[in-house]
Amino acid sequence: MSPRPPTRPVPPTGDDDLGRVLLSLESEGFEEVEVYAKSGRSRRYTRFPLGPDRSGHDVATSEEKGWAARAGAGAVSLFYAATGEPRPQRAWPEAMPGALLLPEPVRAAPLEGSGHLDAPMLAEREGLGLLSGIARELESELPGARLSHARLDDGASESRLRSSRGVDACWRLRLAALELEAVGPGGETAHLAASAPHGRALTPGALARRLADQLATAAGQPPERDRGSFLLAPAAAARLVAGLLPLVVGEGAEARAGRLADRAGKLGSELWTVIDDGRFPGAPLASAVDGEGIPTRRQVLIDAGGFRRSLTARRPGAPAAGTGAVRRPSWRHPPTAGPSQLYLAPDAAVSTASLLRDVARGYYLLDAPGPGHFDLVGDTFSLPVRGFRIESGRAERAVAHAELTGAVSALLRGLKAKGRDLSFFPLAGLIGSPSLLLTGLEILPRRAG
Amino acid sequence: MAFIGLEPAAVARALSQIADRPEDRVDAYFERLETVELPPEEDSSRTLAPGLLVRREEGFAVRLVRDGRSWLASRDGLEPASFTDALRQVARVLPTAAYGEPQRAAVDPLPPLSAEETAAVLEMPRLVARAVRSRHAAFPLRLTVARHRRDVQVVSPRLVPGPEREIYYSVAADQPWGRYGALLPELGTAAAERVADALTASFRARQAAPPAADRVPAVLAPAAAAVLLHEAVAHALEADILALGGHPEAAQGVTLGPPELTVLDDPGRSPGETDRATDDEGLAVTRRYLLREGVVEQPLADAAWAERAGTLIPGAGRRGNRNEPPGPRSTCLELAPGEAALSDLLAGAEGGLYVTQVARGRLDALTGRFRLAVPFARRIRGGIAADAVGPFELTGSVAGLLESVAGVGREVETAGAGWCAKGGQKLPVWARTPALFLARVEVRR
């Protein structure tokens, strides 16, 4: 469903629930008013152990309906959210200091590639079948391994927003999210999170192989302190990109990035091009408008190593201009600026195999089993990693209980090549990266924790 | 405090229609929540998150448990038609049967926050700022204060316990040197002094260097001991966590710690207005000995796990919200006090660390290893807490940690152990604990 074209100036009308709330708040003296309503439904399938050799499952079906109003008058404002249909309140909460300035409406182009929005939700047999299928495939991929816990959420929602400035938008989202935990034959563990535009896009075989790969590397040994070339698969590389989000998201991002820039103003290698694209074709969070009803767009945040802009709620110097980068995870919370589909741009000409051939001696890091620690002020980072040691272009042995570490500036400057295998992961929004070839960093043993 | 808007007897009759096997467990869970939140005064995102935030929600879930499987249907709002719709969704037999809508019942409306209650929330940042100044410290306070109210009513075909209400508060401070959070049974000067103590201590330790990675003695002050016990005892003794490694009931009778270690969960003694007579499945809570003199006695179980395991007692079923099935969780942990004064514990831990705060904790249920993120601590020298050390982690296996308990303090403090987010279900957890002395614990930078 594409957003309705704005019809500014719009005198608010009480012809629907949102309009009635809008009028009610305006009649209380609020100049800036926004009313947002969301309804959704989701199915959650959970598989869990009932003992050493038996599994149980839960099936939960939820129907959600809630709304929220923001209202401001001069230097004070309020936020109110509730379940049900939007309804004028007899007594609104007290308005407190905090000026609210809503964005002006902007016409949004329809979203392309939104066919997934109409995909039906998984039926109970399909949902539970998917989880059983992953368990079976995992046992077949890696004998002795077992799926210890699995949770699949498959859901859809519709949102509508009207504001006193004339924004009037509707949008839909469709998302399936999966979390898996597995135990290997030697007791090693793996955790995998995946998302897709709908449940049928998740394939048991591919997911089981990723889990089996993780378990195989989790059984590896800690490395000696070492340097060399590091090839990071997308799952590990996306964790690096997520750790660098403060350089491109929120107030003060430009200053944070500036501290790491060289004399020419470059943050790092020319291969660093970071984009946030709220309309990424077919992506689960793709939408024509953002959480304030303002058109989303492709925004280049870092361009060939140079800082271009950060994701903020309003354009610098234009307090009533929305940016299309405002996220609204639920009706319960006020919107905030943040990424939708944020990714490091891939290089369509480079295959993973060719990147691997370039690693004469180093490490192929398949996975990062945690978020890591990024100190952008102190210019250091460490990321837990698992993978293989590479010698003469061949995997020599599995490496686990390790961390990739170094200066953030060295990480930014040490990007030597990138692949074409862009993949997204549910981290803060959806964060994507292709395989990355890095130098100038260290790998260390990580104490078991 | 009738709030469900439906006649409980009619709800019970409707539920009995879908329990078509003798062993079926069915229930309806109704909740009404209100959160009033005051964001920090100098919030740069104020254009998006204005003034006072008020969230009110109500809804319910219908659940059927059968033979290790459960079906749950939840809805926002409390309408008879949506109750019938949810009932139909959960029924395993005759899903197209015509279920009658339960009659509407009178509702006690959720009263708006009174002027006194609003004033208490608004006053809290000022009280904390004043308490910080009285400690001769000054730094920008970015304090979020929230009041939480939760009404719960459970109805099952044979049981309609009374409604439950919890009221409590939370504060969170995002400081450049780290985040601090606390749960409070009430606001006021005493609470503000406690928050100011913690914030000032972390401010003064903000530039301290972390300790070297090592195995050292440690004394955990009551608030830190509460987090440790929550991770290493409560989570480790939840029936669903125990089932990851075998049969949960097999843990009963196993010696996990020294005789000084007696740990209970007692939701009936949770502080302030958070005490409960029944759990989120409507079953009576108990004063549950998790560890009695170091031996596992009663792991935490909800009704389903108690039925499966036979020797486990239900009454510890909690729900993060109506959209989630209940699971075994602790509510208010107690560590039985020992006889040692804090000074005795510090004297026995020379060269070790005195930990007053833990930022967060995590138990890896599959490996049995825990991690506590400690924002700062003090080195113990000459029997007193001396110079500050910076952020580090305490880590180890649950078994190793409990074996290393070498002393329990005698002065008990009541406090929030913090938000627990197991499985994504965020719940407040409370504790009454004295200080705890660990002979050796692993420190990681």
Beta bridge partners of B332: B430
Q: How far does Cα B57 stand from its chain's mean position?
A: 21
Residue among A245, A252, A250, A7 at smallest CA distance from B48: A250
| Contact pairs from chain A to chain B, CB under 8 Å | 166
Which residues of A are less than 8 Å from B39 in CB distance? 98
B244 in contact with A, Cβ within 8 Å? yes
Reported as a pLDDT band with limits 50, 70 and 90, residue A99 is: confident
Does the structure show a pLDDT above 50 at A157? yes
Does the structure show a pLDDT above 50 at B46? no
Q: What DSSP element (H or E) covers A39?
A: strand A32-51
pLDDT tens, residue by residue, B187-219: 999 999 999 999 999 999 999 999 998 999 999
pLDDT tens, residue by residue, A337-390: 999 999 999 999 999 999 998 898 999 999 999 888 898 888 999 999 999 999
Which residues of B are less than 8 Å from A36 in CB distance? none
Which of A59, A82, A449 lies closest to B369 in CB terms?
A449
Interface of A with B in 79-118 (CB under 8 A): 79-84, 91, 93-101
Task: Give the CA distances from residue A143 to residues A113, A212, B96, B200, in Å, rounded to whole numbers and listed in that order.
Answer: 40, 10, 43, 54
Q: What DSSP element (H or E) covers A136?
A: helix A124-141
Reported as a pLDDT band with limits 50, 70 and 90, residue A91 is: confident
Show the tokens assigned to B323.
Answer: 């959209």
Does the structure show a pLDDT above 80 at A150? yes
Q: What is the pLDDT of residue B330?
A: 97
Which residues of A are less than 8 Å from B68 in CB distance? 50, 54-57
Does the structure show a pLDDT above 50 at A7? no
Residue of A nearest to B61 (CA): A62
Answer yes or no: do A100 and B47 touch at CB < 8 A: yes
pLDDT tens, residue by residue, B108-137: 888 878 888 888 999 999 999 999 999 999
Chain B closest CA to A57's CA: distance in Å?
5
Does the structure show a pLDDT above 80 at A284? yes
CB contact set of A342 (below 8 Å; sequence gap of 6+): A241, A245, A248, A274, A275, A276, A277, A301, A311, A429, A430, A431, A432
Pairing of the two strands B427-433 and B332-335: parallel
SS3 content of chain A, % helix, strand, coil (to 5): 20, 40, 40
Test the B interface: residue of A46, A55, A61, A157 with most B CBs within 10 Å = A61
Does the structure show a pLDDT above 90 at A94? no
Answer yes or no: do B118 and A94 touch at CB < 8 A: yes
A221 in contact with B, Cβ within 8 Å? no
Q: What is the DSSP letter of A287?
A: -
CB A275 within 8 Å of CB A190: no
What residue type is assigned to position A6 of the chain?
A: P
Answer yes or no: do A334 and B49 touch at CB < 8 A: yes
B209 in contact with A, Cβ within 8 Å? no
d(CA B438, CA B345): 9
Does the structure show a pLDDT above 70 at B1? no
B33 in contact with A, Cβ within 8 Å? no
Q: What is the mean pLDDT of residues A206-226?
A: 94
Q: What is the mean pLDDT of residues B168-176?
A: 92
C-alpha torsion angle, residues B393, B399, B400, B406 (rounded to 10): 100
Which of B44, B53, B68 lies closest to A79 in CB terms?
B53
d(CA B212, CA B197): 26
Does the structure show a pLDDT above 50 at B351? yes
Task: Give the CA distances from residue B158 to residues B94, B282, B330, B420, in Å, rounded to whole numbers and listed in that order.
Answer: 22, 11, 25, 31
Reported as a pLDDT band with limits 50, 70 and 90, residue B94 is: low
Residue of A nearest to B362 (CA): A449
Chain B closest CA to A337's CA: distance in Å?
9
Does the structure show a pLDDT above 60 at B15? yes
Answer yes or no: do B74 and A61 touch at CB < 8 A: yes
Q: What is the pLDDT of residue A5?
A: 39
Q: What is the pLDDT of residue B97?
A: 67
Answer yes or no: do B51 and A57 touch at CB < 8 A: no
B115 in contact with A, Cβ within 8 Å? no
Does the structure show a pLDDT above 80 at A2? no
CB B228 within 8 Å of CB B220: yes
Q: What percent of chain B has pLDDT over 70?
A: 97
Query: What ipTM was predicted for this assembly?
Result: 0.90
Residue among A228, A49, A364, A179 at smallest CA distance from B247: A49
Q: What is the pLDDT of residue B95?
A: 58
Reported as a pLDDT band with limits 50, 70 and 90, residue A6 is: very low
Show the tokens assigned to A44.
Answer: 């959650």
Test the A interface: residue of B25, B30, B52 with most A CBs within 10 Å = B52
Which residues of B are less than 8 Å from A382 in CB distance? none
B319 in contact with A, Cβ within 8 Å? no
Task: Give the CA distances from residue B1 to residues A131, A409, B104, B162, in Å, rounded to whole numbers and listed in that order.
Answer: 42, 59, 15, 9
Does the structure show a pLDDT above 60 at A3? no
B81 in contact with A, Cβ within 8 Å? no
Interface of B with A in 211-230 (CB under 8 A): 213
Interface of A with B in 188-217 (CB under 8 A): 189
Answer yes or no: do B69 and A57 touch at CB < 8 A: yes
pLDDT tens, residue by residue, B280-336: 999 999 999 999 999 999 999 999 999 988 899 999 999 999 999 999 999 999 999
pTM, entire model = 0.91
Which of A57, A80, A148 lies closest to B366 in CB terms?
A148
B162 in contact with A, Cβ within 8 Å? no
Burial environment of residue A10 by CB neighbours within 10 A (0 to 12, 13 to 18, 19 or more): middle
Does the structure show a pLDDT above 90 at A392? no
What residue type is assigned to position B238 of the chain?
A: E
d(CA B104, CA B99): 15
Show the tokens assigned to A45.
Answer: 């399938």
Residue among B247, B256, B268 at smallest CA distance from B292: B256
Does the structure show a pLDDT above 90 at A20? yes
Q: What DSSP element (H or E) covers A37?
A: strand A32-51
Answer yes or no: do A49 and B244 touch at CB < 8 A: yes
Chain A closest CA to B429's CA: distance in Å?
22
pLDDT tens, residue by residue, A113-146: 777 888 899 999 999 999 999 999 999 999 999 9
A63 in contact with B, Cβ within 8 Å? yes
Beta bridge partners of A383: A404
Please write down the HEC assignment for all residues of chain B. Answer: CCCCCECHHHHHHHHHCCCCCCCCEEEEEEEEEEEEEECCCCCCCCCCCCCEEEEEEEEEEEEEEECCEEEEEEEECCCHHHHHHHHHHHCCCCCCCCCCCCCECCCCCCCCCCHHHHHHHHHHHHHHHHHHHHCCCCCCCCEEEEEEEEEEEEEECCECCCCEEEEEEEEEEEECCEEEEEEECCCCHHHHHHHHHHHHHHHHCCCCCCCCCEEEEEEECHHHHHHHHHHHHHHHHEHHHHCCCCCHHHHCCCECCCCCCCEEECHHHCCCECCCCECCCCCECCCEEEEECCEECCCECCHHHHHHHCCCCCCCEECCCCCCCCEECCCEEEECCCCECHHHHHHCCCCCEEECCCCEEEEECCCCEEEEEECCEEEEECCEEEEEECCEEEEEEHHHHHHCEEEEECCCEEEEEEEECHHHCCEEEEEEECCEEEEEEEEEC
